[in-house]
Amino acid sequence: MADIKSVIGTQNKKGQTFTDPWKLLHEAPRTPSFFTGSEVIKEAIRRASCDVMIAYPITPQSEAAALIGELFAEGYVGDYFRGESEFAVMSQCAGAAFGGARVFTTTAGPGTMRAMENFPMWAGARLPIQMIVTCRGINSPLSIQPDTLEIAYLLNTGMLVWHAETAQDFFDWILKGYMVSEEPDVHLPLALCCDGFFVTHTKDVVNLTPADMCLPPYDPYRSPVPCMDMECPPVRMMRDPFVMKSNYISYATHASWQQEIWAAIERSRKHSIHWLNGLIDTENVDADIMIVTSGTAVSQGREAIRMLEDEGVRCGLVKVKTLRPWPEEEIREATKNAKHIFVPEFNVTGWLAKEIRATIPNPHRVHAGPHVCGGMTMPPEIIVSEIKTALGMKTFSLAGRGS
């Protein structure tokens, strides 16, 4: 039985030193590197001591999946193969995780939707699989362009859901994500989302930890469920009376099981705060006007705040880092002084604005927008225009962009 502490300081077969995760991420020297988001995913996985990665091509995550194939060829990933479809990939990820492996996969858009049945199964089975979701359009007619609608479908699966703004977030959160999701009181899958193309296909300066240092391996003996027990739920599903019967005991068991999954998300709060330095980041929380958003809309919001400052309008910002666990108390506290709360989003339905409205008192303060979707970019000017319009200030014509 592996004791994680006992491997710290020893080397893996590639000569990487298993390093205390906190020291790796907070104390180890960092090297600025100019990489695309996809390359950053590869570099994070190089340091993640992953046992299994299963791939299936779908834009815009294909490049990251292929790059991890290179890592496998170099010997940094234990096993790597292509599934028959996204549904197959997610099922195969479950099999690997049931067997006690640290598992990684990537998907996007219609791939996420095709595999959806597996995600509540992962959560119910307490499998700490990490899945990168490089969000893109999911609807017909086909679009490969950035759009975050698929995140809305992930929110009630029982997975942890984080939304990265930058490639730097991506690098750090892939490694930190394993630390949170593998805690025995959490032990849930993590959907680590980003806005496709904007993060995956653009280059940015990312500060990387040394390539010769890596996370300690996953310890399956810390799992809250037995490893691959074929005679017990959740592995054995269809033959068991309590699963199939309509009686009070059956319902009580299922209800307790579901409550336990959502309790595990709640318990992840403590660990997420520890590793991410809070579930949200804030700026100017005493301002009357706040922008609350996640993903790359945060970057656009930040630029809009700078432009508004030039016009004498003071505006604050809340960057929502984790969608599950949902930072309810933090958002309530950060917006308590706000008279107007704007929620820019890269999707048509405004799911984030709905979550925020359900969280704060006086929800009429929430302006659900601006929205862009179908792959449109979100120039900061349309956020500025939305805010100025709401404040009754004169604004310029935007040629019909946005809502």
Partner 1 sequence: MGIRLPNPGEAHINGVIESEEKAYEEAARQFLMAKVPTIFPGPLVLWAWNEKAAKKATAIRHLFNTLKECVQPGQKPMLIPMPDYRPKYPKINPEVEINPNHPNLTIWHNKIDCCMFVGVHCHQANLSLKIIRGGTSCYTIAMCAQAGHEDAMLSFRDASVEKIMKLADTVKRLKGTVQPRLNSKSGASN
Stretch that binds partner 1, among 56-64, 155-163, 230-238, 305-313 (CB under 8 A): 230-238
Task: For the CB of residue 28, give the shortest distance to partner 1 in the complex, in Å.
Answer: 24
Q: Count each helix (H run) and each strand (E run) in the chain, helices first.
A: 15, 16
Token pair listed for 192: 């680590």
Stretch that binds partner 1, among 75-83, 92-100, 264-272, 308-316 (CB under 8 A): 264-272
The only residue of 11, 31, 207, 259 in contact with partner 1, by rule CB under 8 A = 259
Determine if 233 is a binding residue for partner 1 (CB under 8 A): yes
**Cis before 32? omega within 30:** no
SS3 of residue 206 by DSSP: strand
Nearer to partner 1, 227 or 393 (CB): 227
Cα–Cα distance measured from residue 76 to residue 16, given in angstroms and rounded to the nearest whole number: 9
**Contact flags string 146-185 toward partner 1, x per CB under 8 A:** -------------------------------------xxx
Nearer to partner 1, 250 or 395 (CB): 250
The only residue of 226, 286, 329, 358 in contact with partner 1, by rule CB under 8 A = 226
Site for partner 1 in 186-205 (CB under 8 A): 187
Nearer to partner 1, 288 or 333 (CB): 333
State which amino acid sits at residue 210.
P
Task: For the CB of residue 288, give the shortest distance to partner 1 in the complex, in Å.
Answer: 32
Determine if 329 is a binding residue for partner 1 (CB under 8 A): no
Cα–Cα distance measured from residue 36 to residue 50, given in angstroms and rounded to the nearest whole number: 21
Determine if 251 is a binding residue for partner 1 (CB under 8 A): no
Beta-carbon neighbour count of residue 124 at 10 Å? 20
Nearer to partner 1, 240 or 303 (CB): 240
Give strand pairing partners of 160. Answer: 190
Is residue 348 within 8 A of residue 119, CB to CB? The reply is: no
Is residue 102 within 8 A of residue 49, CB to CB? The reply is: yes
Task: For the CB of residue 218, give the shortest distance to partner 1 in the complex, in Å.
Answer: 15
Cα–Cα distance measured from residue 198 to residue 146, given in angstroms and rounded to the nearest whole number: 7
Alpha helices in 245-339 (DSSP H): 248-276, 297-310, 328-334
Cα–Cα distance measured from residue 276 to residue 19, given in angstroms and rounded to the nearest whole number: 19
Strand 366-367, strand 190-195: pairing: unpaired
Determine if 257 is a binding residue for partner 1 (CB under 8 A): yes
Task: For the CB of residue 300, give the shortest distance to partner 1 in the complex, in Å.
Answer: 34
The only residue of 2, 142, 249, 393 in contact with partner 1, by rule CB under 8 A = 249
Determine if 243 is a binding residue for partner 1 (CB under 8 A): yes
What DSSP letter does each residue of 67-96 carry, written as one string?
A: HHHHHHHHTSSSEEEE-SSHHHHHHHHHHH
Cα–Cα distance measured from residue 305 to residue 30, given in angstroms and rounded to the nearest whole number: 30
State which amino acid sits at residue 392.
G
SS3 of residue 289 by DSSP: strand
Determine if 253 is a binding residue for partner 1 (CB under 8 A): yes
Determine if 229 is a binding residue for partner 1 (CB under 8 A): yes
Is residue 68 within 8 A of residue 62, CB to CB? The reply is: no
Length of the chain: 403
The only residue of 35, 87, 153, 242 in contact with partner 1, by rule CB under 8 A = 242
Determine if 211 is a binding residue for partner 1 (CB under 8 A): no
Stretch that binds partner 1, among 99-107, 199-207, 243-251, 375-383 (CB under 8 A): 243-251
Task: For the CB of residue 380, give the shortest distance to partner 1 in the complex, in Å.
Answer: 38
Determine if 87 is a binding residue for partner 1 (CB under 8 A): no
Nearest to 82 by CA among 40, 116, 126, 52: 52
Place of tokens 């996007």: 108
Nearer to partner 1, 204 or 240 (CB): 240
Nearest to 211 by CA among 64, 7, 40, 80: 40
Stretch that binds partner 1, among 72-80, 216-224, 335-343, 354-362 (CB under 8 A): 216-224
Nearer to partner 1, 233 or 374 (CB): 233
Residues at the interface with partner 1 (CB under 8 A): 1, 126, 183-185, 187, 222-226, 229, 231-233, 236, 240-243, 245, 249, 252-253, 256-257, 259-260, 262-263, 266-267, 270
